[in-house]
Amino acid sequence: MGCDKFDLGGATLIVCSRGQRQRRCSTAGCQNRASLLCDFAVTRKGKAGTCDRPVCKPCAKNVGPDRDYCAAHARVEAKP
C-alpha cells in the first residue's frame, strides 16, 4: 500500500491505494492470476491498440519477444 502527496498550490492532496489490482486469467476454467495482457492488435473507436485481456503464462501463446496472445486470439492467429 502506498500513498502519494500532491501539492495543489495552497492545498495538499494525499491519495492512497491498496496496490495493483490482481486479475484472474480470462481463459475459461482457469483460476490462475494473470501476469500478462494479450498483445493481439485491435482497433477501438478508430484507434489502434491491443486486446489487453488478462492471461496467465500457462494459458498464453507466446508469438514473439514480449508478445503473447490470449486463447481466443491464439485461435484466430492459427486459422489459415
pLDDT reported for residue 15: 87
What is the average pLDDT across 62-80? Answer: 87
Torsion sign, CA atoms 23, 29, 30, 34: negative
Other C-beta atoms lying within 10 Å of the C-beta of residue 1: 6
Per-residue cell: 37: 495482457
What percentage of the chain has pLDDT greater than the value 70?
91
Tens digits of residue pLDDT in 7-43: 888 899 988 877 667 789 999 999 999 999 999 999 9
Using 50, 70 and 90 to split pLDDT, how confident is the model at 76?
confident
User: Taking CA 68 as the corner, what is the angle to CA 80 and CA 56, rounded to the nearest 5 degrees?
Assistant: 120
What is the average pLDDT across 45-56? Answer: 94
Rg (CA), the chain: 18
